[in-house]
Amino acid sequence: MKIVNKGKGVFTVEMENERDTVVPKSLFYKNQEAEEIYFPEGIKIINDEAMCFCYSLRKVYLPSTVEQLRHGIFYGISAHKIEVYFDGSVTRFKKISRPYKETVTVNVSGPYDGYPYYITEGSYNEDRVETRHFDAFCAEIEVICANGQKLIYGYSK
């Protein structure tokens, strides 16, 4: 598997043979140029932290052949929304998009100033429990499926 830079922040992943269906762990690790990444038909697994710390990343294109998205593929990208275009259905995406699920309990009393798990203002005197799915380390991930249906993941708002 290799990465091809198409210029202007656009990268594609190319399979070197038909058995090359697993995107390696940290393939784009700290790639500061990548704004858009295209994965080809035939890719089945996107491995752990494949695009972590890609601070410029805005769009990812996933083929319908993807069967599994592993832990933290967008880890460390929390400043903006990432759009994921999936060439499949919402139902199918929900089946492959559970590599990360975390329940967080936060005990707060007094001013609360927007710690990334919550974007809130004011004071709280109660326990809060939140469950987040897919890749909890992103500010927001918007998944647009082939028929135009959308799913939103990321930090609670």
- Determine, yes or no, domain membership for 113: no
How far is residue 102 from each of residues 42, 148, 154, measured CA to CA in Å? 30, 28, 11
Quick check: is 123 in a domain? no
Query: In this structure, which long-range contacts are made by residues 15-20, counting pairs with CB atoms below 8 Å and at least 24 apart in sequence?
Result: 15/40, 15/42, 15/43, 18/42
Residue 72 lies in a domain: yes
Q: How far apart are CA 136 and CA 127, in angstroms?
A: 20
Q: Is the confidence at residue 155, as pLDDT, over 50?
A: yes
When divided into structural domains, the chain yields a total of 1
* Residue 107 domain-assigned (yes or no): no
Query: Range of 36's domain?
Result: 2-101+134-153
What's the confidence (pLDDT) of residue 77?
81
DSSP 138: S
Identify whether 120 is part of a domain: no
Q: For residues 15 and 1, is the Cβ–Cβ distance under 8 A?
A: yes
In a domain, 44, yes or no: yes
Q: What is the tens place of the pLDDT at every residue in 25-42?
A: 999 999 999 999 999 999
Residue 127: inside a domain: no
82 is a domain residue: yes
The neighbour count for residue 43, using CB atoms within 10 Å, is: 20
Q: Given this model, what pLDDT does residue 83 score? A: 92
| 19 CB-contact burial (10 Å; exposed 0-12 / middle 13-18 / buried 19+) | exposed
Distances, alpha carbon 95 to alpha carbons 33, 45, 140, in Å? 31, 13, 19
- pLDDT tens, 69-115? 887 888 888 777 889 999 998 888 878 875 455 554 544 444 444 44
